[in-house]
Amino acid sequence: MIKYSNLEKLSNDLKNLFQNQNKNEKESYFDFEIICEQNKTSFKTHKSILSSRSQYFKSLFKSKMKEYQENKLILKDVSSSILFPILNYLYSGKIKINSENAIQILIFSSKYLIDDLIKICSNFIKKNLQFENVVDILKLSESMNLNQLFDSSYQFISENFEEFIKTPFFLELEENRLNSILSNNFIDTDEFEIFESIIKWGKHKLNINQEKDNQKLNKEEKEKIQDQILNVIEKIRFIHFSQEELEYTLKEDLIPNQYLRELVHFLLLRNKENENELEEFIEKENQIQNSFIFKPRFGLNFSEIIQEKEDFKKIKEWINDNEFFYRMGLGFSAERDGFNSFEWHKKCDEKGKTLVIIKTKDNFIFGGFTSVGFTTDKSKWRKENREDEDGYIPDPNAFIFSLRNDKDNRVPVKFPIKKDEEENAIFYQKISGPNFGNRDFYLFPNLYKIDSNFGSTYKLPYGIKYGTKKAKSYLAGSYDKLIVDELETFFI
């Protein structure tokens, strides 16, 4: 049997069917009219085409509402210049999206449930995000529940925050969105510059002259600014301020009273140069404060393991999936949730993309990433294991990594899966903790104990032989011992 396909001709024929609006109606079998009230333009269409291409029209015709009975729909919220290319697309599958029409077509497509066109417009907008439009796109995508477009806009601002805070568009951010952006750990911008931009934002919201020196503001103006920035200032990481910047900030007298005492105390301890006392103070404050003021900017959200800027950047580089990286959160912490494999599976199974990070008592930090995740869905298991209780899960994108150890100052390294072992990327076993490969690293049910057969499934470092003590102890410093200090697992 030979299959023939001529989709181009089909597309052109359907396009001509729609565009022959002036032909005899009986010839084209039009049976439904859409009228643009804005400029009194009407388009003849076919119910069968509309209902097959839009869930909105399918439901409309099924319900037999007034529009169905009268064979016409009057639209008040769209112009003919936007409606024509949309209807043409519904017939032909072709449309030209540009910066002039993308948002209007997206709004219409979202309202009238044209899913494939929503995706087309969203992808175009993502690729053309600019400082001039990103705030509006952020608002629009949130109001329309377009999560991927919202995440892309949020990510664009976070990745370009240093430049963004210098634009007038930053000043237009609403407090809740500014709060959300400042809460994340992905802003690679000088913290003092962020603080100064927050003061400018507060002045803008209060219509206070931006050119007026902060130290020359009167008492009433300062109190207004303190109130305006109260819920935002707690997201500033003052721990990154230099001594001079902190002294200057306190001198300006714009810090709300709720944080003044802690910051003065912090400054005094820094002046004493007593590292132990300073660390104790910061740890205590982070336990009792809901704010971020003494928490480092770089580090995975809520992670106690990943706190260093370079560690954070290395994991981001390795995963190479911004959507996952910016949305993931801490789903399991052994210190918080218990050293128990059943609890780990309860919280971490069926989560899709998963990042596992382990810290040992000797300060070795290592882990693994899977783009599939740990799942009981046996259709995702290796075929040979689908009748078994436990089984391997294939994942060509999985990898394990060694991030840090204090023993020999080893540099961070990513270990990809061997090409002929992709079927054995991770192993699902209900009674154990996370298991990457054929026990390349494996956590016992109590999650304290690690076993390692490193090199079985994932590539070993150059010069290290599989099966040797050096290979088995490479990731955690030792193996088959109770050495885990913390296990953290991240997913969306």
Residues 307-360: tens digit of each pLDDT? 777 888 888 889 988 777 767 888 999 999 999 999 999 999 999 999 999 999
Residue 378 binned pLDDT confidence (cut-offs 50, 70, 90): very high
Could you give the dihedral angle defined by the CA atoms of residues 247, 253, 258 and 262, in that order, rounded to the nearest 10 degrees? 10
The answer to whether residue 486 scores a pLDDT higher than 90 is: yes
In 11-142, DSSP assigns E strands to 32-36, 41-45, 72-75
- Mean per-residue pLDDT, 227-238: 88
The answer to whether residue 25 scores a pLDDT higher than 60 is: no
pLDDT at 286: 64
At 259-304, the pLDDT tens digits run 888 888 877 777 776 667 666 766 676 666 566 777 777 665 667 8
pLDDT at 342: 94
Q: Which of 11-20, 428-437, 479-488 has the highest mean pLDDT?
A: 428-437
Residue 185 binned pLDDT confidence (cut-offs 50, 70, 90): confident
At 27-75, the pLDDT tens digits run 568 778 888 887 788 888 788 888 888 888 888 888 877 777 777 788 7
Bridge partners of residue 368, in order along the sequence? 356, 400
- Mean per-residue pLDDT, 218-235: 88
Comparing 31 with 401, the larger pLDDT belongs to 401
CB 486 within 8 A of CB 333: yes
Residue 412 is given by DSSP the state P
Residue 88 binned pLDDT confidence (cut-offs 50, 70, 90): confident
Please indicate, yes or no, whether the overall pTM of this predicted structure exceeds 0.75.
no
pLDDT at 299: 60
Closest CA to 446 of 290, 303, 340: 340
The answer to whether residue 246 scores a pLDDT higher than 60 is: yes
- Mean per-residue pLDDT, 219-241: 87
pLDDT at 440: 94
Q: What does the mean pLDDT of the chain come to? A: 85
Rounded CA gap, 123 and 344, in Å?
A: 36
Of the candidate ranges 55-64, 255-264, 405-414, 450-459, the one whose mean pLDDT is the lowest: 405-414
Of the candidate ranges 18-27, 145-154, 226-235, 349-358, the one whose mean pLDDT is the lowest: 18-27
pLDDT > 70: what percent of the chain?
A: 91
SS3 489: strand
Instruction: Annotate 67-106 with b (16+ C-beta within 10 A) or e (fewer).
Output: bbeeeebebeebebebbbbbbbbbbbeeeebeeebbbbbb
